[in-house]
Amino acid sequence: IEGLSAGVVMADTAYDADHLRQAIAAKGALAVIPNNPSRALKHPLDKHLYAQRHLVECCFSKLKQFRRVATRFEKTARNYRA
């Protein structure tokens, strides 16, 4: 989080911790994190905004697929010597 500026920080339930929410709020950003089912104090969630997280996940998926094609990621050095 250090050195980054954002208006909104989206994360999944694994990042639902009070100290993370406080750090995000201290930076002036909105934390869009679903509540952990075991959380006693529920925080409001903008479901419309959280739905946009899917677009980001798809973008990273495409980048990872392209990396595999562009760099022949699965191949080992032994295969290049053959």
Asked if residue 20 is part of any domain, the answer here is: yes
Asked if residue 43 is part of any domain, the answer here is: yes
Distance of CA 22 to the CA centre of its chain: 18
User: 32 with 45: CB under 8 angstroms?
Assistant: yes
Asked if residue 3 is part of any domain, the answer here is: no
Asked if residue 58 is part of any domain, the answer here is: yes
pTM for this prediction: 0.64
Structural domain total, the chain: 1
User: 73 with 63: CB under 8 angstroms?
Assistant: no
> Residue 12 is encoded by which pair of tokens?
């999944």
Q: Is 63 helix (H, G, I), strand (E, B) or coil?
A: helix
The mean predicted confidence, pLDDT, of the chain is 82
Domain housing 71: 8-81
pLDDT in tens, 13-36: 898 999 999 999 998 999 999 998
User: 12 with 34: CB under 8 angstroms?
Assistant: yes
Asked if residue 2 is part of any domain, the answer here is: no
